[in-house]
């Protein structure tokens, strides 16, 4: 019983967010990026390099299966890279000295804390979504004559192809929404406080449920920003990822008491 009381006491208070909080978080995130751009550019470069690797695997080799190990690296590395950006924002906020040793040291220490548990949840989501995506593809395209989809997109313009894209998009959006709800606040919370990952995820979902409109806008903003960043040959991610990472830290600070 006392354990439950302790857990309840540890769970942070969820605050009501307004549109102004999003604008303020983005503004503060941009300030952080400008104050220490080399950290943001370094962490973003991991994603840009990974993106190019996947693109190469898809186009140059024409073998989709090569892209899977590369893509699998994103959910594993993602939480740790995000923590790097949060730590930079945390140090700027507290006026603590910034150095590569300090920031990378904090990332390295996360392996002994709760972040790997969150990373494991993200990986399971990624693998399950990957399995579902293959299943949806097989259901709708299994009876089609095999074509090389990297050179011909005509197969997607058939009734089966369009239906597959629609259902795949809906399922993907649901997966993304659930994963966003579980991680949007839990990652910065785990970096900032000594708390278990289950409580952190519950708190994160509580923030989304308490502020559904604001968090929907934030989720859509993230999705559109990432799409634009990737569409610009992945180069847009050099600005988008640091901005989103730093802004997420400031939104977390505004979301929890």
Three-state secondary structure readout of 104-137: HHHHHHHHHCCHHHHHHHHHHHHHHHHHHHHHHH
CA dist., res. 245 & res. 83, Å (int):
8
Strand partners, 14: 256
Could you tell me which of 13, 32, 9 has the C-alpha nearest to residue 185? 13
The reported pLDDT for the residue numbered 141 is 74
Which tokens hold the place of 53?
């690797």
Task: Evaluate whether residue 181 is within a structural domain.
Answer: yes
Task: Evaluate whether residue 31 is within a structural domain.
Answer: yes
Side-chain-side CA neighbours of residue 145 (13 Å): 2
Task: Evaluate whether residue 9 is within a structural domain.
Answer: no
- The CA-based dihedral angle spanning residues 130, 134, 137, 139, taken in that order and rounded to the nearest 10 degrees: -130
> Cβ distance 122 to 78 under 8 Å?
yes
The reported pLDDT for the residue numbered 54 is 80
CA distances from 244 to 1, 32, 184, 225, 248 (A): 40, 11, 11, 9, 6
Q: Is the pLDDT of residue 254 over 60?
A: yes
Which tokens hold the place of 10?
């540890």
CA dist., res. 141 & res. 42, Å (int):
40
The reported pLDDT for the residue numbered 56 is 81
Q: What is the pLDDT of residues 78-102, one digit of tens each?
A: 888 899 999 999 999 999 999 999 9
Q: Which of these ranges, 72-86, 171-185, 196-210, has the smallest mean pLDDT? A: 72-86
Which tokens hold the place of 105?
């040291």
The reported pLDDT for the residue numbered 63 is 64
Task: Evaluate whether residue 153 is within a structural domain.
Answer: no
- DSSP secondary structure, 196-234, as one string: -HHHHHHHHHHHHHHSHHHHHHHHHHHHHHHHHHHHTTT
- The CA-based dihedral angle spanning residues 199, 243, 214, 80, taken in that order and rounded to the nearest 10 degrees: -20
- DSSP secondary structure, 35-85, as one string: HSHHHHHHHHHHHHHHHHHHHHHHHTS--GGGHHHHHHHHHHHHHHHHHHH
Q: Which of these ranges, 32-36, 170-174, 251-255, has the smallest mean pLDDT? A: 170-174
% the chain with pLDDT above 90: 58
Task: Evaluate whether residue 12 is within a structural domain.
Answer: no
Q: Is the pLDDT of residue 68 over 70?
A: no
Q: Note down the domain range covering 117.
A: 17-147+163-255
Task: Evaluate whether residue 2 is within a structural domain.
Answer: no
Q: Which residue has the tokens 């989809």?
A: 149
CA dist., res. 219 & res. 251, Å (int):
12
Task: Evaluate whether residue 152 is within a structural domain.
Answer: no
Which tokens hold the place of 86?
């949060």
Classify residue 151 by burial, with Cβ atoms within 10 Å: 0-12, 13-18, 19+.
Answer: exposed
SS3 256: strand
Q: What is the pLDDT of residues 18-53, one digit of tens each?
A: 999 999 999 999 999 999 999 999 999 999 998 888
Q: What is the mean pLDDT of the chain?
A: 87
> Cβ distance 6 to 219 under 8 Å?
no
Number of domains in the chain: 1
Task: Evaluate whether residue 155 is within a structural domain.
Answer: no
Q: Which residue has the tokens 């993907």?
A: 172
CA dist., res. 245 & res. 81, Å (int):
9
């Amino acid at each position: 019983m006392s354990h439950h009381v302790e857990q309840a006491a540890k769970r942070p208070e969820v605050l009501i967010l307004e549109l102004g909080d999003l604008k303020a978080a983005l503004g503060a995130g941009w300030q952080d990026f400008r104050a220490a751009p080399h950290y943001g550019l370094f962490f973003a470069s991991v994603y840009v390099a990974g993106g190019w690797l996947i693109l190469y695997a898809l186009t140059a080799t024409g073998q989709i299966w090569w892209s899977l190990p590369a893509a699998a690296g994103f959910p594993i590395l993602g939480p740790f890279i995000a923590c790097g950006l949060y730590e930079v924002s945390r140090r700027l906020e507290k006026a603590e000295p910034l150095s590569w040793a300090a920031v990378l040291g904090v990332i390295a220490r996360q392996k002994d804390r709760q972040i790997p548990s969150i990373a494991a949840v993200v990986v399971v989501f990624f693998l399950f979504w990957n399995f579902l995506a293959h299943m949806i593809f097989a259901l709708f395209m299994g009876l089609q004559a095999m074509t090389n989809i990297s050179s011909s997109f005509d197969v997607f313009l058939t009734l089966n192809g369009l239906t597959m894209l629609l259902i795949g998009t809906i399922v993907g959006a649901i997966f993304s929404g659930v994963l966003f709800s579980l991680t949007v606040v839990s990652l910065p919370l785990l970096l900032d406080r000594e708390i278990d990952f289950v409580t952190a995820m519950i708190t994160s979902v509580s923030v989304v449920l308490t502020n559904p409109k604001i968090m929907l806008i934030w989720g859509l903003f993230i999705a559109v920003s990432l799409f634009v960043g990737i569409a610009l040959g992945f180069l847009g991610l050099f600005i988008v990822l640091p901005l989103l990472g730093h802004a997420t830290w400031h939104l977390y600070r505004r979301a929890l008491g």
